[in-house]
Amino acid sequence: MRISTAQIYNNLLSGISSQQNIQNRGNAQISSGTRFQTPAQAGLDYKVSLDIRHAQTGIKGSIEAVSLVENRLTISQTMLSDMNNVLTRAQTLAVQQADATVSANQRASASVEVTHLLARFFDDANLRWQGQSLFAGTAVDQPAFINNAFNAGSAVYTPGLNSSITAVTQSLNPNAVNDTYAITLDAAGTSITSITNAAGSNLLAAPVVLATGANAVTMSNGVALSISYNGIPDTVNQAAGNLTVSGALPQDTVTYNGNNQNRTVAVTPEQLVVSNVRGDNPAFTDAFTALKAFKDALNANNITGIQNALGALTSAGDQIINLTTDVGGQLSAMKIYRTSYEDLQLQLDKQMNTHEAVDIPAVMAELQQSSIALQAAYSQIAQIKSLSLTNYLR
């Protein structure tokens, strides 16, 4: 069979193309460090790589979520620790100021420090982290606590069977008392015999004789009422109704301003982790109340009040310590989560490396052999061209 020069030439070109493909594939493998770069090169292996990468992305997201929880809880724990320091200092002051030998001036001076301690506790409780309120639940755009101005509250009168009393209003509430008052007249229907609060205590020192029109009545808790009497005695019904006062706030009391929703973080699609401490925990309210009561007792030079405040401060401090301990437990759990996810991430990285990594020495050897084959093919093509030219010249 006669083999033409063209056939030999085409075979050499095909071999060169094959070797060039080997060169391109080898160079791509060396530059990327992987055995394949497209699905066409290894369809099943490429899918396995995608599955591993998907798992790696999930683990990376879990680690980032755990880090967010850790950071949020760590700053919360730091603030709680500082709050405990405030309460510890207040307890020390209370022990000192409860001594009978301490003067009123000394207690007044101590109240100045307590004012600063209150402000420090308030600032800790209202801390913003990354621009978001730390202890306000999910209401991160507003302060967790607000300082209240005095509010005498709203009074609502519910008439009783007695027809002589036409209206009852609250005139004064200097101590911001929230309570319900039941008004009772005598059998003659001309005097108020008692005004009892929700606890059943009579707040009148003596019966009040009624005059036609508005009658001013001041109770033992400082609340002043205006009671309208029509001048026509009701000798049948003694119950004159109830006055309910709500919404009263003393000056400088602190109120929680957040909500009751926890800030949760999705560590995995199935697992939500609470990442915050809410300010509606009673520990916060009790601490603010104890500090204010201590300050008021110092200003009033009230030894009994100071002694009572010491107990309240100790109780509030214990609650803050318990909160701090709870946060520490959450942080320990997050550390375990982090370790588990980091170990899993390492295993996936090893699996990916084993699955995709190219054998560089083997590829280099293949490239070297391919290069030799290419050089030989180029040399043969040059010879064929030379023979063809010689034949043509003959």
Give mean pLDDT, residues 82-100: 96
CA 90, 96, 99, 103 dihedral sign is negative
Among 188, 216, 246, give the residue marking a domain's end.
246
How many domains, the chain?
2
Q: Considering the domain boundaries, does residue 71 fall inside one? A: yes
> What beta strand segments (E) does 222-344 contain?
224-229, 239-246, 254-256, 264-268, 271-274
- Structure tokens belonging to residue 271: 């697992």
Among 196, 220, 246, give the residue marking a domain's end.
246
User: Which position has the higher pLDDT, 357 or 215?
Assistant: 215
> DSSP per residue over 196-234, as a string?
E-TTS-B--SS-EE--SEEEEEE-TTS-EEEEEE-S---
Based on the fold, state whether residues 96 and 175 are members of the same structural domain: no
Whole-number Å distance between alpha carbons of 12 and 23: 16
pLDDT at 42 over 60: no
Based on the fold, state whether residues 129 and 162 are members of the same structural domain: no
pLDDT at 187 over 70: yes
pLDDT at 353 over 80: no
Q: Considering the domain boundaries, does residue 15 fall inside one? A: no
Whole-number Å distance between alpha carbons of 116 and 298: 14
> What beta strand segments (E) does the chain contain?
128-129, 132-133, 145-147, 154-159, 165-172, 180-185, 191-196, 208-209, 213-218, 224-229, 239-246, 254-256, 264-268, 271-274
Query: Cα 204 to the chain's mean position, in Å?
Result: 48
Tell me the pLDDT tens digit for each residue of 206-253: 999 999 999 999 999 999 999 999 999 999 999 999 999 999 998 888
Amino acid 379 reads S
Nearest C-alpha neighbor of 389 from the set 5, 11, 2? 5
Based on the fold, state whether residues 142 and 213 are members of the same structural domain: no
Q: Is 139 helix (H, G, I), strand (E, B) or coil?
A: coil
Q: How confident is the model at residue 1 (pLDDT cuts 50, 70, 90)?
A: very low
> Average pLDDT of the chain?
87
CA 272, 273, 275, 278 dihedral sign is positive
Whole-number Å distance between alpha carbons of 335 and 66: 8
Based on the fold, state whether residues 138 and 261 are members of the same structural domain: yes
Whole-number Å distance between alpha carbons of 155 and 247: 9
Among 185, 218, 246, give the residue marking a domain's end.
246
pLDDT at 388 over 70: no
Q: How high is the pLDDT of residue 200? A: 96
Reported for 364-368, long-range contacts at CB under 8 A and 24+ positions apart, including other chains, are 364/26, 364/30, 366/22, 366/26, 367/22, 367/23, 367/26, 367/27
100: CATH: 1.20.1330.10
Check if the beta carbon of residue 258 is closer than 8 Å to that of residue 291: no
Based on the fold, state whether residues 195 and 278 are members of the same structural domain: no
Q: Considering the domain boundaries, does residue 19 fall inside one? A: no
Overall pTM > 0.75: no
Q: How confident is the model at residue 2 (pLDDT cuts 50, 70, 90)?
A: very low
Based on the fold, state whether residues 195 and 328 are members of the same structural domain: no
Whole-number Å distance between alpha carbons of 156 and 169: 8
Q: How high is the pLDDT of residue 350? A: 79
Q: Considering the domain boundaries, does residue 158 fall inside one? A: yes
Task: List the domain range (segments joined by +) for residue 174.
Answer: 154-246
- Structure tokens belonging to residue 232: 């026509």
Based on the fold, state whether residues 74 and 143 are members of the same structural domain: yes
Based on the fold, state whether residues 321 and 188 are members of the same structural domain: no
Tell me the pLDDT tens digit for each residue of 58-79: 888 888 999 999 999 999 999 9
Based on the fold, state whether residues 104 and 186 are members of the same structural domain: no
Q: How confident is the model at residue 23 (pLDDT cuts 50, 70, 90)?
A: low
Based on the fold, state whether residues 305 and 229 are members of the same structural domain: no
Based on the fold, state whether residues 169 and 140 are members of the same structural domain: no
Amino acid 44 reads L
Tell me the pLDDT tens digit for each residue of 111-151: 999 999 999 999 999 999 999 999 999 999 999 999 998 99
Q: Considering the domain boundaries, does residue 387 fall inside one? A: no
**CA neighbours within 13 Å on the CB side: how many for 52?**
19
Q: How high is the pLDDT of residue 269? A: 84
Based on the fold, state whether residues 125 and 195 are members of the same structural domain: no
